[in-house]
Amino acid sequence: MDLYVKVEEKLKELGIEFEIVEHELALTTEQADSFIEGIEGVRTKTMFLTNKKKTDYYLLIMDDKKRLNMELFGDIVQSKRIKMASPDSLNEKMMLPPGVVSPFGLLNNKEKDIKVYFDREIMSEKRMSFHPNTNEKTIFIDTTDLTKFIEEMSYEVNIIDL
């Protein structure tokens, strides 16, 4: 099944409204932002992270203009040597290629072993934007509906200060 269709079907099943913008293939956040200019919603960056031993995996969502302090994140999650997970790990855990990471990839995580974190700074925003498992579309979804989506899939939403 098409990975985007899976997202759309799950959101409809949960009664969650969303807005989709179709656009050219976006390879950078700057390029993606240019396709959705003027549409209300915080631009996010979602990072798939792991510890050195690849025993823990993290999905971190924050404002796309903010830089991540890996050491601080490691302290928060009580893990040493946090780094970006490899493309192979991303494919294995969420069936996604690099550049398409979003909370919607959790639909493909059979083991349910990814811990989800949001930077508190964006939680007050009404809407957020993501690639819905494809970088040829951008989805806008209310923040409260996004947390509902994540929790409905049996993940805990952790809000942290970065």
> What digits encode the pLDDT tens for the residues 79-105?
989 999 999 999 999 999 888 899 999
Residues 29 and 64: beta-carbon distance below 8 Å: yes
- Tokens representing 49 are 């992270």
Host domain of residue 23: 3-160
Query: What CATH number does the domain containing 67 carry?
Result: 3.90.960.10
- Rg of the chain over all Cα atoms, to the nearest angstrom: 15
Say yes or no to pLDDT of 24 above 80: no
* Whole-angstrom distance, CA of residue 104 vs CA of residue 2: 13
51-53-55 Cα angle (round to 5): 75
* Whole-angstrom distance, CA of residue 115 vs CA of residue 134: 22
pTM assigned to the model: 0.91
Helix (H, G, I), strand (E, B) or coil at 21: strand
Closest CA to 17 of 140, 151, 153, 154: 140
> What digits encode the pLDDT tens for the residues 25-53?
776 667 777 777 777 778 888 999 999 89
* Whole-angstrom distance, CA of residue 106 vs CA of residue 101: 10
Into how many domains does the chain fold? 1
Residues 94 and 75: beta-carbon distance below 8 Å: no
Q: What's the half-sphere exposure (Cβ side, CA atoms, 13 Å) at 58?
A: 26
